[in-house]
Chains A and B, each alone.
Chain A
Amino acid sequence: GAVVSQHPSRVICKSGTSVKIECRSLDFQATTMFWYRQFPKQSLMLMATSNEGSKATYEQGVEKDKFLINHASLTLSTLTVTSAHPEDSSFYICSARDRGWQFFGPGTRLTVL
């Protein structure tokens, strides 16, 4: 199947800093990518839908100014957590659709100290 990569796999940062997470579709083009967040012992919650060349669509309760999404090319979407705080510590997972199937990246573990 198609491959989706994420970088970095793990990041630890100080409170107040910004962190950028990259999501790449390696062998297909994705006009739409999705960002999920997963807190410990919980399920994946959809944060936003990233659309190539246009603004992302955010789910209710997700702050668009805090979680900046850029989908500048058909193979790359980035999620920037701005002014991160300890409550933003979570597992962030991206995914992309290819011919009806949704493929998931391996996730990025963010720890904000």
Chain B
Amino acid sequence: SQQGEEDPQALSIQEGENATMNCSYKTSINNLQWYRQNSGRGLVHLILIRSNEREKHSGRLRVTLDTSKKSSSLLITASRAADTASYFCATDPNQAGTALIFGKGTTLSVSS
């Protein structure tokens, strides 16, 4: 099962520009996480934002969470070619022992 949609599905930008990806979900959550995946590779955990947080920063990453709208956004500032990857949001339900549920993902392409 998947929580919901991410948009855009694909995003192409130039190096130095900012990239914004959005994620919507359907059920109540304990936290929401963002992951990165390079083509054919495993997942890399980027950042976690708890349900009682509204914004969080980590380096060039900025994540926001609006639980009233059941949505989150990931902003990558000053993008680099190495940021080219797929980005997924994943929601962690309130129930113990349950799995993360992933959104459909955004494929980001950063050209130099």
Interface of A toward B, CB cutoff 8 Å? 31-32, 34, 36, 41-46, 49, 59-60, 91, 93, 95, 97, 102, 104-107, 109
CA distance in complex: A42, B39 (Å): 11
Q: Chain B contacts of A32 at CB under 8 A?
A: 97
- CB-defined interface of B93-112 with A at 8 Å, one 1/0 digit per residue? 00001111111110100000
Total contacts A-B at CB 8 Å: 48
Q: A46, B97: Cβ atoms under 8 Å?
A: no
| CB-based nearest B residue for A34 | B99
**How far is B43's CA from A36's CA once the two chains are assembled, in angstroms?**
12
B104: A residues at CB distance < 8 A: 42-43
Q: Say which size band chain B's interface belongs to.
A: 10 to 19
Segment 7-49 of B: residues with Cβ below 8 Å from A: 40-43, 45
Please name the residue on chain A nearest to B33 by beta carbon.
A102
> What is the chain B residue whose CB lies nearest that of A104?
B43
Distance in angstroms between the alpha carbons of A61 and B100 in the assembled complex: 18
In the complex, 20 of the A-B residue pairs with CB atoms within 8 angstroms, ordered by the A residue number, are: A31-B97, A41-B107, A42-B104, A42-B105, A43-B104, A43-B105, A44-B43, A44-B88, A46-B99, A46-B102, A49-B97, A49-B98, A97-B97, A102-B92, A102-B99, A102-B100, A104-B42, A106-B41, A107-B41, A107-B42
Residue on B nearest A103 in the bound complex, by CB: B45
Q: B residues bordering A, Cβ < 8 Å?
A: 1-2, 40-43, 45, 88, 92, 97-105, 107
In the complex, the chain B residue whose C-beta lies closest to that of A51 is B97
Determine whether the beta carbon of B103 is less than 8 Å from that of A95: no
Does B42 contact A93, Cβ atoms closer than 8 Å? yes
Known A95-B99, A97-B97; judge A43-B42 contact (CB<8 A).
Answer: no
A77–B24 Cα distance when bound, in Å, is 31
Q: Which residues of A contact B2 (CB under 8 A)?
A: 43, 45
Q: How distant is the Cα of A41 from the Cα of B106 in the complex, in angstroms?
A: 10
Q: How far is the CA of A91 from the CA of B39 in the complex (A)?
A: 11
Residue of B nearest to A31 (CB): B97
Q: Given known contacts A93-B42, A93-B43, A104-B42, is B1 in contact with A43 (CB within 8 Å)?
A: no
